[in-house]
């Protein structure tokens, strides 16, 4: 129980102590008047109509009340309509109830002594889509706060939204200039231990171990909890396929793809208790109780990544994803995905990988390999049940060029720069200057800002010795962007020679910068040749000039590397 509610917590414990023991068998009870069913056990139950679950009783309270309740759907409000509900399986331990719509089946695995239930979704006939979600919209007097692994706070009051001015997609500005947006509760979902909404007496949580059914790589971000802006409901989202911080997540899923199981967990509102439960669930993944041969069929993939210059690929991000894909690892999402990190020697071992054929990808996550701009990939990695696929020693070719300078670690993230890595917040890029001068050898990484949007020029000054210029010919400028939101254009020039114009006409949009991201959106990487004679002895200047802009849109920086070509 959270310490901010000590008195209520005591009363709640007392109320529970006097309640009669209510353990009873899990049940599915059809209603006989309209379409509808009641499911639950002695601790809780919910009444599910053709679309919405309402009347969620737990601890003597209806946790939904006037809120919209529990439902699932895709791409906006295309919500699934249940045509039947039946008992799929009954074991001595649990009851598996399946709700069927045309597009999906939703399973509820109900144990007698469990407050909440495991759930999983199976694809039957989903259309090509970008967002797939399940959610609870709950009573907002019972659920006042939201929690992820990086933010634990009161949900902004509905009255504040009503009194504020809408400035963009689900974003409002209060009279005092501050903003309210659902994107401020977003998170890197592969780091998320559990999330949910809670108050002084009740908590409702999603615990999602495994996460191999989610789309995207290590840097996949999604919405988690928020205040519903049209009704004031407390919203607990379970976005199992999403698009909110990337270029594209359009996917056509194979029939039989399963999302989950995850645990939807009810408690007294204690985040400590939910954390304990989350640790147990993560330790028991993959779940042995799910009697599904595809789910249980798993192997492992191991190997050691070494750079072509002999350095181990320390801490590299490694990823098992689609075989022979032309999508970025962030945009992949039709199958199953495994994100891991190599150790300091470049060793990796990814376990509990579903049987199948994968593409294997690796890239720098900074540290001792922060100057490596190449990535590694290999296809046709077969994983068999109970087997270890040992890839052995893998050699990763670096760009093999001689450094002139580098600003920022190449890790696909804006960390290290001013404001990079702050908690999600809307309009942070408006704090970046229009004009900036950065002098190599004098300025620090934190003098560069995480994002560039305002009309103006950011100039990098660097000195070259005459001997260096004459003994080397051409050079290569590598630009690594952690993200880009369309509506801004950037001219890149060196000693007044224009190298490139990066604009919305050539770069696809990711919404990260204007949706509160401070670390990453979708990674982009460019190389530009600089011919012999362009670089000079003495002072040189590299200029990034924003020539067109749109408020809160622009460039999220990762790294700038200038190297002699050789």
Ligand X SMILES: *[C@@H]1O[C@H](CO)[C@@H](O)[C@H](O)[C@H]1NC(C)=O
- Chain residues binding ligand X by CB under 6 A are 29, 31-33, 38, 45, 57, 140, 157-159, 227, 231-232, 247-248, 250, 291, 300, 302, 309, 314-315, 323-324, 326, 344, 349, 351, 357, 367-368, 371-372, 379-380, 382, 388, 398-401, 403, 434-435, 456, 487, 489, 503-505, 508, 548, 550
**Closest distance to ligand X from the beta carbon of 319 (Å):** 16
Nearer to ligand X, 250 or 297 (CB): 250
Q: 151, 259, 268: which is closest to 200 by C-alpha?
A: 268
Q: For residue 517, what are the CA distances in angstroms to 417, 440, 445, 510?
A: 14, 28, 19, 11
**Closest distance to ligand X from the beta carbon of 380 (Å):** 5
Nearer to ligand X, 260 or 366 (CB): 366
Angle CA 236–413–310, to nearest 5: 130
**Distance (Å, whole) CA 268 – CA 271:** 9
**Closest distance to ligand X from the beta carbon of 33 (Å):** 5
**Distance (Å, whole) CA 370 – CA 315:** 10
Residues 28, 85 contacting (CB under 8 angstroms): yes
Nearer to ligand X, 405 or 425 (CB): 405
**Closest distance to ligand X from the beta carbon of 434 (Å):** 4
Nearer to ligand X, 60 or 533 (CB): 60
Nearer to ligand X, 276 or 434 (CB): 434
- For tokens 């310490």, the residue is 3
Nearer to ligand X, 400 or 466 (CB): 400
Dmax (CA) for the chain in angstroms is: 90
Residues 506, 534 contacting (CB under 8 angstroms): no
Across 426-523, where does the E strand assignment appear?
436-439, 451-452, 456-464, 475-485, 489-494, 497-502
**Distance (Å, whole) CA 298 – CA 354:** 4
Tokens of 62: 């209806």
Nearer to ligand X, 260 or 359 (CB): 359
**Closest distance to ligand X from the beta carbon of 67 (Å):** 8
Nearer to ligand X, 276 or 378 (CB): 378
Q: What is the DSSP string of 106-137?
A: EEEEE-TT-SEEEEEEEESSPPSBS-EEEEEE
**Distance (Å, whole) CA 273 – CA 281:** 12
**Closest distance to ligand X from the beta carbon of 291 (Å):** 4
**Distance (Å, whole) CA 540 – CA 7:** 66
**Closest distance to ligand X from the beta carbon of 398 (Å):** 4
**Distance (Å, whole) CA 37 – CA 208:** 26
Taking CB positions, which residue lies at the least distance from ligand X? 367
**Closest distance to ligand X from the beta carbon of 276 (Å):** 25
279: exposed, middle or buried (C-beta count within 10 Å: 0-12, 13-18, 19+)?
A: middle
**Closest distance to ligand X from the beta carbon of 315 (Å):** 4
Nearer to ligand X, 356 or 473 (CB): 356
- Tally the C-alpha atoms within 13 A of residue 511's C-alpha that lie toward its C-beta: 16
**Distance (Å, whole) CA 558 – CA 411:** 7
Nearer to ligand X, 272 or 353 (CB): 353
Tokens of 330: 């962030």
The total of other beta-carbon atoms located within 10 Å of residue 89's CB is 12
**Closest distance to ligand X from the beta carbon of 292 (Å):** 8
Nearer to ligand X, 15 or 31 (CB): 31
Nearer to ligand X, 29 or 276 (CB): 29
Angle CA 70–259–291, to nearest 5: 110
Nearer to ligand X, 276 or 458 (CB): 458
As beta bridge partners, residue 474 has none
Nearer to ligand X, 433 or 533 (CB): 433
Residues 248, 331 contacting (CB under 8 angstroms): yes
As beta bridge partners, residue 219 has none
**Distance (Å, whole) CA 523 – CA 517:** 13
Q: 103, 333, 341: which is closest to 218 by C-alpha?
A: 341
Phi and psi at 293, nearest 5°, equal: -65, -35
- Tally the C-alpha atoms within 13 A of residue 365's C-alpha that lie toward its C-beta: 20
**Distance (Å, whole) CA 205 – CA 183:** 19
**Closest distance to ligand X from the beta carbon of 422 (Å):** 19
**Closest distance to ligand X from the beta carbon of 504 (Å):** 4
The total of other beta-carbon atoms located within 10 Å of residue 372's CB is 24
**Closest distance to ligand X from the beta carbon of 343 (Å):** 8
**Closest distance to ligand X from the beta carbon of 508 (Å):** 5
- For tokens 């509990």, the residue is 352
């Amino acid at each position: 129980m959270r310490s901010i509610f000590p008195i209520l917590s005591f009363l709640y414990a007392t109320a529970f102590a006097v309640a009669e023991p209510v353990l009873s068998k899990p049940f599915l009870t059809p209603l006989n008047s309209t379409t509808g069913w009641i499911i639950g056990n002695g601790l809780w139950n919910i009444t599910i109509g053709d679309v919405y679950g309402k009347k969620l009783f737990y601890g003597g309270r209806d946790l939904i009340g006037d809120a919209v309740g529990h439902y699932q759907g895709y791409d906006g409000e295309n919500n699934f309509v249940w045509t039947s509900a039946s008992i799929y399986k009954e074991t001595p331990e649990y009851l598996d109830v399946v709700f069927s719509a045309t597009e999906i089946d939703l399973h509820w695995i109900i144990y007698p002594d469990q407050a909440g239930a495991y759930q999983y979704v199976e694809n039957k006939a989903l259309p090509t889509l970008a967002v797939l979600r399940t959610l609870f919209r709950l009573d907002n007097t019972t659920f006042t706060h939201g929690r992820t692994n990086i933010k634990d706070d009161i949900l902004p009051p509905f009255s504040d939204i009503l009194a504020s001015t809408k400035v963009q997609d689900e974003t409002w500005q209060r009279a005092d200039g501050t903003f309210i947006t659902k994107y401020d509760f977003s998170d890197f979902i592969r780091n998320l231990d559990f999330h949910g909404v809670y108050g002084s007496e009740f908590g409702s949580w999603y615990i999602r171990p495994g996460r191999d059914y989610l789309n995207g790589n290590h840097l996949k971000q999604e919405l988690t909890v928020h205040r519903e802006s049209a009704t004031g409901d407390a919203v607990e989202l379970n976005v199992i396929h999403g698009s909110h911080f990337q270029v594209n997540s359009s996917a056509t899923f194979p029939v039989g793809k399963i999302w989950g199981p995850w645990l939807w967990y009810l408690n007294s509102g204690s985040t400590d208790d939910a954390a304990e439960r989350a640790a147990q669930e993560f330790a028991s993944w993959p779940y042995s109780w799910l009697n599904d041969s595809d789910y249980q069929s798993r192997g492992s993939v191991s190997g050691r990544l070494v750079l072509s210059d002999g350095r181990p690929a320390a801490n590299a991000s490694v990823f098992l994803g689609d075989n022979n894909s032309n999508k970025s690892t962030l945009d992949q999402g039709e199958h199953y995905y495994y994100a891991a990190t190599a150790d300091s020697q470049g060793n990796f071992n990814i376990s509990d990988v579903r049987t199948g054929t994968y593409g294997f990808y690796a890239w720098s996550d900074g540290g001792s390999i922060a100057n490596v701009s190449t990535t590694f990939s290999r296809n046709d990695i077969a994983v068999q049940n109970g087997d270890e696929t040992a890839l052995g020693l893998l050699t990763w070719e670096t760009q093999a060029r001689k450094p002139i300078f580098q600003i920022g670690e190449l890790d696909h993230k804006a960390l290290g720069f001013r404001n990079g890595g702050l908690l999600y917040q809307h309009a942070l890029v408006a704090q970046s200057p229009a004009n900036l001068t950065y002098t190599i050898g004098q300025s620090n990484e934190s003098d560069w800002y995480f994002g560039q949007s305002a009309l103006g020029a950011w100039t990098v000054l660097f000195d070259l010795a005459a001997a260096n210029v004459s003994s080397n010919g051409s050079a290569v400028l590598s630009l690594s962007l952690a993200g880009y939101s369309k509506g801004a254009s950037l001219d890149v020039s060196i000693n007044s020679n224009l190298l490139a114009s990066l604009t919305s006409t050539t770069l696809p949009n990711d919404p990260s910068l204007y949706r509160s991201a401070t670390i990453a959106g979708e990674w982009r990487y460019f190389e530009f040749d600089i011919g012999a004679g362009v670089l000079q002895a003495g002072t040189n200047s590299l200029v990034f000039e924003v020539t067109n802009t749109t408020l809160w849109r622009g460039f999220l920086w990762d790294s700038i590397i200038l190297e002699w070509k050789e």
